[in-house]
Chain A
Amino acid sequence: MLEVKNLSKTYDGGVQALRNVSFNVKQGEFLAVIGLSGSGKSTLLRCINRLIEPTGGQIVWDGQDVTAASQDEMRHIRRKIGMVFQHFNLVSRSKVITNVLAGRLGYVNPMLSALNRFPKSDVAMALDQLDRVGIKNQAYKRADELSGGQQQRVGIARAMMQQPAMILADEPVASLDPVLAHSIMQYLEKINKEDGVTVLCSLHFLDLVHRYADRAIALNAGELKFDGSPADINDEKFREIYGKDAERVG
């Protein structure tokens, strides 16, 4: 259970990215976050694992106050929150397997991992995760030798290495073509349905939201404009979220 209460973020330049955003996410839910570019979707997701420090409000996850956690406690919390990025954010010169193993960094011994030594069980687990997303044979290639779709699968495998209770996906398919987008979304769906991992996923295309999400929230200029079932987004709601002149595509 994730509770976000009156979350606000004002950047140093004075830009208000989030204004009093409140919502709850149940364990095992697939929540889509929609809104225009710059509406605060990325900021919201990064506030939840405090890659960005919120300036106001509270986030409670599993009964723990995330916003009040110390740096060390925060690292403890982050281990259980996987993250998937629009631009994959792989270390392109490292091997695929190293990128996936990086998901274990919160768990393993820091000294040994700094020497790039991981337990055998973790290596086996990394290969399993790669197998699960269908690219086990690419494990020892350099990450930048892979195609975009394959790189995002590495990103998902990395997040799964954390054995997460929740995954934050920041526009995971925005840099991929529609076919690949569906295949990536299906992996996220599988993780959500089979492993019971909560997924918070920001998305651009409404058809993806309808197809995969249990629930959707919508942001416009940092304010929560919608919270409900994707099916309830009618034309009026749509204009409220995306602006008066917006037209539906896809």
Chain B
Amino acid sequence: MKKSSSFIKSLAVGLATFLVLVVFAYGFTVTNINFAETRSERRMASLTRILRALAHPKIFDYNFETVNVEVPFYLGCPEGGVEPPKVDRSGAFILVSAGCAEPKETIVIEGYNFQENSAGPINFIGFSADAPDGVPIQMGSFQADAQGNFRVEATIPNRQIKEDPQAIRAIGRVRVGAPMISQEAKVTWDKIVETVFMALLATTFGTLLAVPISFFAARNLMVEVKSPLSSIALSLIGWALGMGLGVEISRLLTHFQTAFFSSFLATLAGAIILPILGSLLARLTLFNQNKEMDLRFKSRLVNVLYSLFAAALILASILFLGKLLLQIGAYLTPNKDVPLYFLRKFVSQVGEIFTILAPVVAVLVVGGIVGGFFGQIGQTVSDKTSPASSKVFNLIVAPLAGAIAAVLILRGLDWFYQFNNPAVTLYWPAGIGAAIGLALALVVSSKQPLPVGFIIYGIFRTILNGTRSIEALVMAIVFVAWVGLGPFAGALALALHTVASNAKLYSEQVESILSGPLEAIQATGANRLQTIVFAVVPQIIPPYISYTMYRWDINVRMSTIIGFVGGGGIGFILQQNINLLNYRAASVNMLAIAIVVASMDYISSVLREKYV
């Protein structure tokens, strides 16, 4: 009994081993493993050449003193041979073992009176009607001894036999003066600086976006967010209205600014007065320390109106500040040659960012204020009315919300697919959305809290996972199309990838926080924002710093190759050098990458130890 089971066991092991062998055999075929190729002399020679070039990064360069010595030479011996050429022995000279030779024949070349230790190539110079100055073909190279003499064997190249004399030329080079930084090293320095800053900007802006997103992608925070249908539906309607209102407000403000306040002084006055007004208003209302929590509808409505007004003021401030910076920037940079041009230009770039940001902020903030307020109304309806009347309420608002949401989604898709058909972008989605809303309102019991947070979490997770699965290298191709070749495209691609990857990593950290402090802060009567600020944020700061530095590290490495697709940085010239077979320059690039990546690794580990 025992014997047979051990026999079966060894049979199974044998079979498994055989299977593993089969798998690997197939793998060898698929990956084209070819050992004969690795031994071939030609391949070995090119490998040696590349490795030796890579081992000699061209960091330093020298000035050379060059001596050219040439003797006439016949390719293909004419009948009767040729006279050995007369040689001037006053300076450096070379002697050739024969004045003529057949192609592929080996001859001996001796050189005398060269500068000591000079070295260089020995070329065959082919003259023809097309190339009266001669085409050099390298036959070999020499290295003179301390007396300035050498003796080498070289093979005549396989060229067509000519009657006219050709030549053999030895070029002796000797280094003069101190070594200096090579042109390749200078370019590498420029590009590696570009690379590091690309990674810095991508990490910074990517992180700024990833942090807020990560909260929406954290399961433990989101599953608790539940609202009755009335609240969700009204909130959706409120968001749509608010976002529309936000667009209108920012359009109005921009119009207002360009129409009445386009002069520098007016812009300056606006950029000073508006923030003061906005912060005063905010201090009186939103940030008023003496105001008690007030749950009455009227005071909430007043609060919302104040918030909208304050938001408009703050938006106007951003806009005016942006325009002001643009004007100052334009004044500061009359031309490119002014000192500290990059700093001056940055002023207008910041202004540009502000003016781009203003409408985005407007849409989000106003949408949030109105959506939140409507959501509260819906919550109150669900809390304070009878099940029957809130059912009726749901039957009205849910179809409306469904229709609005569906139309907005189709509007977005329309941009991609260009339906250009109101049936597809308006009537159908409105009908289907309303039907879904109606069905939900009918099916769901009117006061049942629905897991809206979980749905938002799911949407965010899906988008993040989708975005993350596309490598920055691939994204760079799209961005190159948008903003052109160069580091800007690379930085944008890296930033987008940073948002996706870090938001996911961050959200996992949020999910792993201790729930005790969360519970304790909730028990004090804190609202959701306060709970996040007081219980979640302190717990996630160390892992967030750690992951941000890790991403910065990854981004430096990524930015070294993002140039391969035109994304700027050192990858751009690395690829160029490899394609031009300029391996010594490529070696400088790789060396720079290695140094930067290794020092990044060291710096981030030191910082992590210190602050985490």
Contact = CB atoms under 8 A, between A and B. Distances in A.
B524 interface: yes
Nearest to A69: B383
Interface in B503-549: 516-517, 519-527, 529-530, 533-535, 538-539, 541-542
A245 interface: no
A211 interface: no
Contact of A105 (B289, B521, B539): B521
B520 A79 contact: no
Contacts of B519: 51, 85, 89
B537 to A, nearest CB: 9
Interface in A98-153: 98, 102-114, 116, 119
Contact of A162 (B522, B524, B534, B538): B524
Contacts of A116: 533
Contacts of A234: none
A105 B379 CA distance: 22
A79 B525 contact: yes
Contact of B533 (A78, A108, A114, A168): A114
A239 interface: no
A82 B287 CA distance: 25
Given A70-B383, A102-B534, A108 B289 contact: yes
Contact of A90 (B288, B520, B522, B533): B520
Size range of the interface on A?
Answer: 35 or more
A162 B522 CA distance: 12
Given A70-B383, A89-B517, A93-B541, A105 B530 contact: yes
Nearest to A87: B516
Nearest to B292: A107
Nearest to B541: A93
B451 to A, nearest CB: 13
B293 A112 contact: no
Nearest to A122: B289
A19 interface: no
B295 interface: yes
Interface string B12-56: 000000000000000000000000000000000000000000000
A114 B525 contact: no
Given A71-B379, A94-B538, A102 B516 contact: no
Nearest to B533: A114
Interface residues of B, number: 33
B107 to A, nearest CB: 81
B291 interface: yes
Contacts, number: 106
B311 to A, nearest CB: 13
A155 B516 CA distance: 12
B538 A89 contact: no
Contact of A75 (B379, B526, B539): B526
Interface string B261-297: 0000000000000000000000000111101110100
B530 A91 contact: no
B380 interface: yes
Contacts of A85: 516, 519-520
A51 B530 contact: no
A238 B308 CA distance: 62
Nearest to A119: B289
Contacts of B523: 49, 51, 78, 81-83, 168
A193 interface: no
Nearest to A98: B534
B293 A107 contact: yes
B516 A79 contact: no
A132 to B, nearest CB: 18
Interface string B350-389: 0000000000000000000000000010011001100000
Interface in B456-487: none
Given A70-B379, A87-B516, A78 B524 contact: yes
A76 interface: yes
Most A C-beta atoms less than 10 A away, residue of B288, B516, B520, B541: B520
A158 interface: yes
Contacts of B379: 70-71
Contact of A91 (B384, B529, B538): B538
9 contacts: A70-B379, A75-B525, A91-B535, A106-B526, A109-B289, A110-B529, A116-B533, A162-B525, A168-B523
Interface of A: 49, 51, 70-73, 75-79, 81-83, 85, 87-94, 98, 102-114, 116, 119, 155, 158, 161-162, 168
Interface of B: 286-289, 291-293, 295, 376, 379-380, 383-384, 516-517, 519-527, 529-530, 533-535, 538-539, 541-542
